[in-house]
Structure 1
Amino acid sequence: MSDNPQSLSNSQETSAVPVNNETLQNRRQHDLWKAIRTVPDFPKPGIDFYDITPLLLDHVDEVIDGMLAALPEGLLEQIDCFVAVEARGFVFASLLSGRLGKGMVLLRKPGKLPPPVANKSYALEYGSDTLEIQGGMAPRKVLLVDDILATGGTLTTAYHLCQEAGHDVAGVLVLLDLVDLHKPFPVPVYTVLEG
């Protein structure tokens, strides 16, 4: 054994288990899952609500890093902007837009966008709703962004609304995909976490 502390330190480092990208990704996913709070019977009986607000407080950089890592190589260069679904999609799309310098289109609830608008109604797990998109924009290649893909009603409506507005939807990017709750999607779904 050497009396040189530097020598001891180096030998300890080389015997450590190597950390690769997959290991880091698994750790990130574990940490993110731990921060999500499940609230049973909210907003109505029988619905489990995934509260992601702790992620926004303590893990926002890891979330955005994870979203970017979920995308295939070259996709970001192909898209012109992000389409954000009200309301939590605004958070993620804004952060992605700011980090990458790409634009953002908002899908809003009725009466929030000035005319002209196109709208579409859809069913939710716990009711129904309507989304609107601003009309008169030049067609773009877009990536839909939202927090959670559950039954798919909101994002399917967003997809069709974007198509009707002339946009080419390259895919959907979400933090959490509840894969057992929805049918296959018409475009690729990229996600950080699956449930």
Structure 2
Amino acid sequence: MIRALYDWTLRWAASPRAPVALGAVSFVESSVFPVPADVLFLPMCLARPDRAMRYALIATVTSVLGGVFGWAIGHWAFHALALPLLDFYGKTAAFEALKARTGTWAILTMLVTSGLSHIPPMKVVTILSGVVAFDLKLFILSAIVARGGRFYLLAFLLQRYGVKIAAFIETRLHWIALGVLAVLGLLFVLIEVL
């Protein structure tokens, strides 16, 4: 199964319709789809480094729009749409635990960490933000910063270092994400204490 997904990704990355597929995956990843946009974004940037910044723009815009869609699901259609999706993905308990810890700083921290590292999953945070009626303007701004920061940084690194950085990212992504999460957690604690 993993080999089939890998082959599918490589075919799409080389396709002339790859930007459309990237936009679609980035959109649905932020609200309902479990596969991150990176599965298309990384090989597309490696295949065409001259277009990496364009791909970053496509991924950022569609990811933010998908996040707004997730927010709308949480805000207006949680019981009809979101709860069955959370049940389907087995994320209902995680969602309830996150909901219990909500507040402006908690939501912002979750938006940034999920936008940068997918911890917690972006779709859970976008839906949660809608359920608790998190300020939509602040939601959009934080999604632009987090998702744009991630995609543009990856595009820059892939343009500059190519295959070497891709191997580094693939082997150490979880450690990088945990490091960013630890720094953000420390900042959150410092803000709460001060």
Q: TM-score under structure 1 normalisation?
A: 0.30
TM-score, normalised via structure 2 length: 0.30
> Normalized per residue, which structure has more helix?
2
Larger radius of gyration: 1
**Bigger strand fraction:** 1
